Amino acid sequence: MDKLNLEVLPLRFILESEGPLKLSDLAGTVRMRGAFGLIFRRLVCPPGWWNRACRSCELWRACPYPMFFEPAPPEGSDRLSKNADIPRPYVFRSAGVDNEFDVTLIGRGSGALPYFVVALRELGAQGFGPVRRRFALERVETRQENPQTIFDRSDNLVRMPRPVSKSHDPPPPSAAGRRRYRFETPAILKSNGVVEEVPTYATLVKRARDRINALSTFFGDGPHEWDFKGMGERAEQVRTASVAGGTRTHGRLSRRRGQFHDLSGFVGEIAYEGPEETFAEFDPLLALLAEIHVGKGAAFGNGRVSTVPSGAERLREPCHG
């Protein structure tokens, strides 16, 4: 593989409310993402245009809303057709506590940070959830060893940070010829159009390869000149050694379109065995998945995959949710 060049901006949004916002799990974060999308659109669209299709609008190429929620290849692009599913340049994820959530902005998506702040403040004023509980955006910080404050309610300023590259972080130490991955949120990975109940290593690598390349193509420094077929063939040398986990039922209702989206997928741990040189080749690729996720529903928090270091405690029970 050539050098990975995808930049990310990992953020934590800290809210203050008089009652619980119920953001401590994946379902709560999905609700926040949906409410945020509605507010975002109403901030950037004239009132009479809210129900118009983005691609019929004269401004859609310059508007921040379709970039985040209905992205499409730029004019003249030969990488993907205009009807292809372009990945969103962000990931919403639970922070594990009630009044906080995480967002990762990817590549040029980091330029929309001020819109995020304004949209969250407006959503807080209108109210969130079935009871329309109001909240205040207290603070936004970077998620790193020494967090940087990006926004503070006390001074009402947005400080634009520099995105960082996660691609060069060394993976946790692992035994030669063996890797173990924790699928922390439902992973929906397809092979030949069919969802794998237990993801194989080859499918994990292929979907990570495709996602990272698409994000780099449309929101980063450009496409990677990889040997896509060869990467897949080498990944197929790895076999599944053990599985602890199962399908977690999960989904979301789109209020705007009146549709239910099934986001159920595998949660648990999988150990793979194969040639060490194959693992070494793809370790940097898969290390990104803890931040950018993979598979269907990645923007909603699905498909967070992290490397488990050797000697770490194994998952004791299957996760059926």
CB-based contacts of 84: which residues, under 8 Å, 6+ apart? 73
Indicate whether 151 and 126 sit together in one domain. Answer: yes
Residue the block writes with tokens 């290390």: 287
Torsion 297-298-304-305 (CA) sign:
positive
Answer yes or no: is pLDDT of 301 > 60: yes
At 149-198, the pLDDT tens digits run 999 999 988 998 877 766 556 667 677 899 999 999 999 999 999 999 99
Answer yes or no: is pLDDT of 83 > 90: no
Please indicate, yes or no, if residue 209 is contained in any of the structural domains: yes
What residues does 268 pair with on adjacent strands? 183, 245
Please give the average per-residue pLDDT across 57-68, as a whole number: 82
At 235-284, the pLDDT tens digits run 999 999 999 999 998 876 666 556 667 889 999 999 999 999 999 999 99
Tokens of 90: 């962000």
Please indicate, yes or no, if residue 318 is contained in any of the structural domains: no
For residue 49, the one-letter residue type is W
H helix intervals, the chain: 26-44, 64-69, 113-126, 201-219, 228-235, 276-287, 289-292
**3-state SS track over 136-182:** EEEEEEECCCCCCEEEECCCCEECCCCCEECCCCCCCCCCCCEEEEE
Indicate whether 17 and 117 sit together in one domain. Answer: yes
pTM value is: 0.88
Torsion 95-33-15-127 (CA) sign:
negative
Q: What is the pLDDT of residue 319?
A: 41
Indicate whether 24 and 87 sit together in one domain. Answer: yes
For residue 290, the one-letter residue type is A
Please indicate, yes or no, if residue 321 is contained in any of the structural domains: no
Indicate whether 20 and 133 sit together in one domain. Answer: yes
